[in-house]
Structure 1
Amino acid sequence: WLETHIWHAKRMKMEDIWGYRLAMQPTEKAFRPSHRAAQHGCIIHDASYLGLIEITGALGPLSDLLLLCCDPQGQPPGAQRYTVGSRALDTHLYSPGQYPLGLACPITIIWKPVDLPNQTVTPKANAQDKPAENNEETRRVEHPSPEPGSKRTVWLMVHPCVFDTAFGIIQSCASLTLARLKETGNTSIEIEIADLRTQLNIFEIMGPKSSQVIKGALSPTAAGQKDDFTSFWSSLGDIQSTGSLAPGMIIGFKVHDPRLKFPPKNAKPSPVDIPHQSSPMKVFPSAALARCEIWGETIRSSLKQPRYKKKDIDDRKAQARRSIRNLIPGQPLAPQRQDDRIPVLLVQRSLGSVQSGTHGWMLIIPAGWSMPFFSSLTFTGSRVGGQRERQTQAFEAGVPYFPRDYPSIPAHGEQISKTADEEEARWKRTPAAKKPNFEKLGTRSPWRPDWEVVLGLKESKSELVPTQREAPGPEHEDLQPSEDVERKDAEDTAMLGKSPWLLRGALLKYMSLVPDFIKEINRLRTRRSESHFDFKDADLLLRSALVPVQLTPCGRGVLKDMSMIYMLEDHECEEAQKHVGSDSEEGGEAVTCDKGAIIGYTTTGNFCLSRGRGHSLGAIAAIKYQALVAQARR
């Protein structure tokens, strides 16, 4: 159970999932108010079920460890912009020695801030003429990162359904890193890995009013605050969207017990000259701004339980109301010396693009303080969402949601199997006259996506029996010991083309030319210290690859989950294009597609409120994607 379980159990539909008893959705049937809250107000989600892995060691080995298991596309986790601790990095975790295969899950990496100062120099002459973020004369003076041998700490935030897998991958990469250091004669390096799942709680506060809610509910302590934080906190209420801030910006500070100022009042933006335009944030990410005491295990242990119960706080409020100076109910209590000071972390969180995405904050607090913070945050008029609302936020932003939109991953297969069993049992209970006859409709796999058949890796043996894999692929194999990881590179070629894998990121740009495609993969594998693929392996890679796609109907209609995606012939496309945009349903005849023409399935589909029409996410075969591009050019 989470610490807020009783509150959610009274107002939400609960289910056992991922080893927790989690809230799936509110008891009210309507979901549009939650969407409006995410787009125009504020919605809160208790994400304390997310797992945290703490890794401690020298900076150099930690950077090498993360490079072995993280996505090499983009900046590495050991880049200075992340190692100083001022920004969080969203990336993906891969099994060692298997890239681009072996995708495990998305992760968030947060480095403990360094002790070196970070200054921002802003000229006073033009400070009022231009926003600080667009001022060309604004310059940052960043001090170099610490020495590679300095001891550092990093947190990895992982989804609970793959926590054990991710923990095993980190252990394997740590063993491999230490083995390589031992070969060079360095035997004094140590790497510590710890499980922090019971030591921290996480809240996701999304929406344009999330900044006002946080400023109204929390009261930072006056002692020890620096100029950067003072400037940040004073302008926090004027932010209309955290999408205007630096991605992954981290702010660390200490707050008083939220119960002292209960009930809270939302902060109101200060008046501006131009309507609907907030004052620009004039604070840049820095290690000094992100520094927080929540990283200390001793501090977290001392705050495991609040010093005062709610009854004690209420007695103090009653005594204050009886005094002459506090006759008005609801006045905040003055913090005393013995009151708790709680360290918290604020992390900027974005889903989708800056213009059309959903933005907010991630609030990380010590364990034992969920209800004091949650009560103050929910009393501000914010809505509370469950798993359905969290999935809807990602769907409306057009980004894949883990694990349902990550085909070919074991976690996705487990969720699909659970959903398929429920749908199949419901279909069998339904009378024959009230349910579709999949055999007559020619539906090959009505409840489970048969990716192997779509890719041509297997043949469908039965109409309604879903195909299963004969042998586990690289993504399903057990983790190998560190001494077997390097030997496994030679075995990857033999496994190519036998199991589906998800082709994502910048690699999609190199699909048209096979030589460039394999060169880019080898370049990325070199960054992970992995062996190269041969040019003949490119066909095997593309034959078993799945490409994530987004689909929008040309006319009316909504694509649901598990919708089949077909590829039309050239003459069928020409006939269909004549009726695109026509509201009449008599414009053309329905096209009957052969079940062998299925090129993929949708993983998530529904009516998209932000687009005002049907929208869906899915995946298709990479070879068929190339054929579609060539067909569009014709």
Structure 2
Amino acid sequence: MVVNGSKAGVSTAPPHELNVRKFAESRASELKGLHSLIAERLDNNFRSQRNKRRRTTGHDDRVAKKKFRKRRRVGAEDMGKIDSVDKDEKKNSRRVRRNVELKKNPLSGFGTSGDGTKRLRTHVWHAKRFTMTKLWGFHIPVGLHGRGRGSRALMKKLKHGVLVHDASYYGCVQFEGPEDMLVSVLSAVLVPSPSTCSEGVSHDILAGTIFGTAMLHHAGKPSFPPVSPVTYMWRPVQQISTNTGDVSIDNFHGEQNMDDSTIIRQVWVWIHAAAFKEAYDALSSSLQRQTDRAQSARVVTREGQLAKLELMGSKVFQLLQKTLLPASGSENSWHLKTCSADEHDDFGESEKTSISQNSQISSSAVVSLVVKDPRALTKKGTVIVRGQKPLGLLSNGECQIEEQTVSSCPKNEAECACEYNDLWDTSKGVCPPVEESFLSTEKYHQHKEFICLGHKSSESQNASVDGEYSRLCPILLLKNENHEDSITRCSIILPLSWVKAFWLTFMSNGAHAIGLREKHWVACELGLPHFPADFPDCDAYSNVVAMEAAALRQKSRLLPPSKRPLEVPIAPPWDCVRLTSGKRSSEVGNSGSQVEELGTQDEKIDMSKSSSYEKMETSSTDCHGVPFEGNIARTSSMLNNFLNNISGDHFLLFPKIRDQRSCLYKLMKDEAFLKPDTTVSEVQCGKTQCYIRVLLRAYKEGVFEQGAVVCAPDVADIMLWKARSQSDNQQLQIPQSSLKSYFLQLPSGKWELQIPEDPTRGETYRWPIGFITTGFVRGSKRATASALCDASLLSGLRKEQWKALPVRQRRKEIYVLVRNLRSTAYRLALATIVLEQQEQDVKFM
């Protein structure tokens, strides 16, 4: 107790309770003066103004009385039986029952609606703010309400803030077994396989320090299309007990013990919900093919146990520094800076270890952490706290001002940190977080005690939580590769029961939530492929496109015929590209006044059909909008194999190979290469087309939409476009009459390419070489689109352009023409081949 020096025995410490009546009596003169001032201004009229009254009927019970009278008339014969007991037994309304169900936080599993559709743990938060849709068996947020705009504001938030996406619909498959067996199983279904990576990368992946991305295929079924892109990670070896002699596989399939030289490893494979079932079957069949040691391993699903939150933006690490506080006593390889050395002296030395540069964390790194409940960490603010020598509230001395962060961690925090030292052990069970109501009550009593209200022996100190709850959470932090220096992408893997605790904390600290539509925009801005929009060779793409086409048809039927938009193919007719390959090959063959014999018998038939322009017109009925047929080269090795199989060493495609400099610039600046008198030769490709992903940007102007057709320009088109001034309105475009007949829909529902019979229309016709899978994002300063184009046709275009243009005007980009399906104008664009910039194109969002 602090004693005033002038008056002995008089305490100046603030009282624990305030008597309101005594306080009002001591300030009676001040209150009367204030009342007189207000009365003078209001002219003694204290009635509320009529236009400012609350128009509500909450106080009116006439509706309840009316329902009661109606119930009396219906059940007049047994009126006495209507009592309070019957009211309690009455079934609650659907709204009340649904709110109670959605507030539950079980350890595992998703809540489901009446038709079995799963709900995310953040469903209530998203349903109040986002447009929801039923997709892939989940209620998934599509985006903010409206017409699908807002991309300009989203790009600003990406550059100057943090975006958060709840990716809990991703499924996790866990492999358990000997290391050599798991490597062989993954190598059979993943492209690129872990064994084909460089020695350093392969060692880091097996050690569990970084994660890998690859395309999942069906084992032993080369003709089957790929399943989906996946992310896989290994459990670190140092976190597994080396005493394998005591490890048994009783939980697997047998009871025999493993050999002392064998270590049981675990691998997680994260799969998109659109292809989870197919991917799980492919992984299971790949494991069953290992007949020699199949009994020593197993594959299980962790769906409904783990969740995934994706963060992207320029201030991701600033958000993590404010929300993730590693628990003291946990052995973490990396810690986030949460406070300075002068603040929170009771924290351990490990928590003060900070990292200020993001470059210290390598790309694709996997960091295991045990963090405190983020809801217990409030925003730092300037508050009045008690020091070692508290001063009276009514004294004239200066109060001690400090920054306080309220933390409500248990005393045995170190023991809990050792208990949950890794997220891989959550299959044994993880305690859910403390309920929000208990935390609110606890913070309320802490605040009352802080401002010296209430007794010290308040009920907050004696309060206890019913059930098993925890204030610590094990997580895995994954840092994705940065495609821009200012944009950081991270993923947090955590138990499903902790999703709402982290989500609400991120929202309260300035993060912006996004849905599927906004996530697609971010992927286009960063130049990353987005699943399933940029993977037409997967079955998930066909399913999504079919649903989108059905929705557009239903929406079009509701409009009158005069206002219905032009019907275009939603799924691009990829077979049209094969016609372009045959046409260009025939042109090269006819340069010597006759068609040479090339390729197999099937290729000869195609060449005979396309030996002249008139014969090409008759082959238009062979091109239908069938599902995607072809291969997409997503790694440099796949593109090299394609070039080797067709003897395409002279093709001007330069995939970036590891530890080898590209010769693209060397040949581009070589004056003796491709002289004007050099004959450009083409090699007839095989039956299977090979596509590569390119990034398109407009040469001068134009907006490229999803589904737009990419065409091969003539050299004259490029010269005309480069010479045309900004004020010149002359553009290359097809006739308006041929816009509806460019793609014609057959009675079977498929689309075919129509070749114009009129020679005047044929002058403006340009042959397709690919289609755009992701269009421009409005408001983006980069304005790039993603497309898939035929590799051989791109090589031919590069040869023609390098041959026609001077050496100083040669570019590594390839000039192409792009036309939106509902537009007649062609736009000149520059295509950049992704595999010439990086070795692999398997990074996705």
What corresponds to 1:500 in structure 2? 630
Q: Which of 541, 559, 562 is the aligned partner of 2:707?
A: 562
Specify the code of the residue in structure 2 equivalent to 1:72.
Answer: P
2:377 is the counterpart of 1:261: yes
What corresponds to 1:341 in structure 2? 472
- Against the structure 1 CA distance between its residues 595 and 15, is the aligned structure 2 distance closer, same or farther, given a 3 Å change threshold? farther
For the 8 Å contact 2:161–2:313, the answer to whether it is kept is: yes
Q: Which of 314, 318, 324 is the aligned partner of 2:440?
A: 314
What corresponds to 1:127 in structure 2? none
Specify the code of the residue in structure 1 equivalent to 2:792.
Answer: I
Specify the code of the residue in structure 1 equivalent to 2:727.
Answer: S
1:503-559: CA deviation from partner (whole Å, max 9, x where unpaired): 2221335655546679xxxxxxxxxxxxxxxxxxx9665742222222212121101
- Against the structure 1 CA distance between its residues 515 and 560, is the aligned structure 2 distance closer, same or farther, given a 3 Å change threshold? closer
For the 8 Å contact 2:430–2:495, the answer to whether it is kept is: no
Look up the SS of the partner of 2:476 in the other structure.
strand
Specify the code of the residue in structure 2 equivalent to 1:623.
Answer: S
**What is the CA–CA distance in structure 2 between the aligned matches of 1:233 and 1:347, rounded to whole Å?**
20
2:41 is the counterpart of 1:41: no
Look up the SS of the partner of 2:478 in the other structure.
strand
Q: Which of 565, 578, 592 is the aligned partner of 2:723?
A: 578
Q: What displacement does 1:257 show?
A: 1.9
Specify the code of the residue in structure 2 equivalent to 1:295.
Answer: W
2:386 is the counterpart of 1:246: no
Specify the code of the residue in structure 1 equivalent to 2:537.
Answer: S
Q: What displacement does 1:450 show?
A: 0.8
**What is the CA–CA distance in structure 2 between the aligned matches of 1:230 and 1:576, rounded to whole Å?**
53
2:171 is the counterpart of 1:51: yes
Q: What displacement does 1:54 show?
A: 0.4
Unpaired runs of at least 5, structure 1: 118-145, 266-290, 328-332, 439-444, 474-498, 519-537
Specify the code of the residue in structure 1 equivalent to 2:631.
Answer: W
What corresponds to 1:143 in structure 2? none
Q: What displacement does 1:103 show?
A: 2.1
**What is the CA–CA distance in structure 2 between the aligned matches of 1:210 and 1:426, rounded to whole Å?**
39
Q: Which of 83, 91, 95 is the aligned partner of 2:218?
A: 95
Matches within 5 A, 1:125-140: none
What corresponds to 1:204 in structure 2? 310
Range 557-566 or range 92-101, more displaced: 92-101
2:103 is the counterpart of 1:6: no
- Against the structure 1 CA distance between its residues 607 and 46, is the aligned structure 2 distance closer, same or farther, given a 3 Å change threshold? closer
Q: What displacement does 1:570 show?
A: 3.5
Q: What displacement does 1:237 show?
A: 6.2
Q: What displacement does 1:174 show?
A: 0.7
Q: What displacement does 1:371 show?
A: 1.0
2:196 is the counterpart of 1:68: no
Q: Which has the higher contact order (CA 8 A, sep 6+)?
A: 1
What corresponds to 2:281 in structure 1? 168
- Against the structure 1 CA distance between its residues 510 and 65, is the aligned structure 2 distance closer, same or farther, given a 3 Å change threshold? closer
For the 8 Å contact 2:335–2:354, the answer to whether it is kept is: no
For the 8 Å contact 1:12–1:26, the answer to whether it is kept is: yes
**What is the CA–CA distance in structure 2 between the aligned matches of 1:52 and 1:230, rounded to whole Å?**
27
Bigger Rg over Cα: 2
Matches within 5 A, 1:119-198: 149-176=262-289, 178-179=290-291, 182=292, 187=293, 190-198=296-304
For the 8 Å contact 1:512–1:626, the answer to whether it is kept is: no
For the 8 Å contact 1:599–1:624, the answer to whether it is kept is: yes
For the 8 Å contact 2:484–2:526, the answer to whether it is kept is: no
1:268-316: CA deviation from partner (whole Å, max 9, x where unpaired): xxxxxxxxxxxxxxxxxxxxxxx942101455x232x33x321111111
What corresponds to 1:400 in structure 2? 529
2:321 is the counterpart of 1:215: yes
Q: What displacement does 1:377 show?
A: 1.0
What is the percentage of aligned positions where both structures have the same residue?
A: 20
Q: What displacement does 1:86 show?
A: 0.9
What corresponds to 2:103 in structure 1? none
- Against the structure 1 CA distance between its residues 437 and 26, is the aligned structure 2 distance closer, same or farther, given a 3 Å change threshold? closer
- Against the structure 1 CA distance between its residues 98 and 154, is the aligned structure 2 distance closer, same or farther, given a 3 Å change threshold? same
**What is the CA–CA distance in structure 2 between the aligned matches of 1:49 and 1:188, rounded to whole Å?**
30
Look up the SS of the partner of 2:773 in the other structure.
strand
What corresponds to 2:626 in structure 1? 468
Q: What displacement does 1:455 show?
A: 2.4
What corresponds to 1:451 in structure 2? 574
Matches within 5 A, 1:469-548: 499-506=629-636, 507-508=638-639, 514=645, 543-548=688-693
- Against the structure 1 CA distance between its residues 236 and 103, is the aligned structure 2 distance closer, same or farther, given a 3 Å change threshold? farther
What corresponds to 1:414 in structure 2? 543
For the 8 Å contact 1:84–1:112, the answer to whether it is kept is: yes
Q: What displacement does 1:247 show?
A: 1.1
Q: How many residues align?
A: 505
**What is the CA–CA distance in structure 2 between the aligned matches of 1:147 and 1:631, rounded to whole Å?**
64
Q: What displacement does 1:360 show?
A: 2.3
**What is the CA–CA distance in structure 2 between the aligned matches of 1:15 and 1:347, rounded to whole Å?**
28
What corresponds to 1:630 in structure 2? 799
- Against the structure 1 CA distance between its residues 207 and 252, is the aligned structure 2 distance closer, same or farther, given a 3 Å change threshold? same
Look up the SS of the partner of 1:631 in the other structure.
helix
Look up the SS of the partner of 2:481 in the other structure.
strand
For the 8 Å contact 2:225–2:537, the answer to whether it is kept is: no
Specify the code of the residue in structure 2 equivalent to 1:202.
Answer: K
For the 8 Å contact 2:192–2:214, the answer to whether it is kept is: no
Q: Which of 417, 425, 433 is the aligned partner of 1:296?
A: 425
TM-score (norm: length of structure 2) = 0.55
What corresponds to 2:785 in structure 1? 616
Specify the code of the residue in structure 2 equivalent to 1:256.
Answer: K
Look up the SS of the partner of 1:625 in the other structure.
helix
Look up the SS of the partner of 1:91 in the other structure.
strand
Range 106-115 or range 621-630, more displaced: 621-630
Matches within 5 A, 1:332-411: 339-350=470-481, 353-355=483-485, 358-411=487-540
1:172-198: CA deviation from partner (whole Å, max 9, x where unpaired): 21112x22xx2xxxx585111111110
For the 8 Å contact 2:333–2:368, the answer to whether it is kept is: no
Look up the SS of the partner of 1:467 in the other structure.
coil
Q: What displacement does 1:368 show?
A: 0.9
What corresponds to 2:205 in structure 1? 82
Q: What displacement does 1:248 show?
A: 1.1
**What is the CA–CA distance in structure 2 between the aligned matches of 1:402 and 1:227, rounded to whole Å?**
32
For the 8 Å contact 1:243–1:354, the answer to whether it is kept is: no
Look up the SS of the partner of 1:90 in the other structure.
strand
Q: What displacement does 1:260 show?
A: 1.8
What corresponds to 1:27 in structure 2? 145
Q: Which of 302, 306, 330 is the aligned partner of 1:224?
A: 330
- Against the structure 1 CA distance between its residues 423 and 226, is the aligned structure 2 distance closer, same or farther, given a 3 Å change threshold? closer
Specify the code of the residue in structure 2 equivalent to 1:560.
Answer: E
Unpaired runs of at least 5, structure 2: 1-118, 241-258, 338-349, 382-419, 454-459, 583-605, 607-618, 650-682, 735-760, 804-845
- Against the structure 1 CA distance between its residues 432 and 577, is the aligned structure 2 distance closer, same or farther, given a 3 Å change threshold? farther
Look up the SS of the partner of 1:606 in the other structure.
coil
Specify the code of the residue in structure 2 equivalent to 1:556.
Answer: E
Q: What displacement does 1:153 show?
A: 0.3
- Against the structure 1 CA distance between its residues 215 and 624, is the aligned structure 2 distance closer, same or farther, given a 3 Å change threshold? same
For the 8 Å contact 1:18–1:160, the answer to whether it is kept is: yes
TM-score (norm: length of structure 1) = 0.71
Look up the SS of the partner of 1:302 in the other structure.
coil
Q: What displacement does 1:99 show?
A: 5.4
What corresponds to 1:18 in structure 2? 136
**What is the CA–CA distance in structure 2 between the aligned matches of 1:502 and 1:147, rounded to whole Å?**
44
**What is the CA–CA distance in structure 2 between the aligned matches of 1:557 and 1:418, rounded to whole Å?**
29
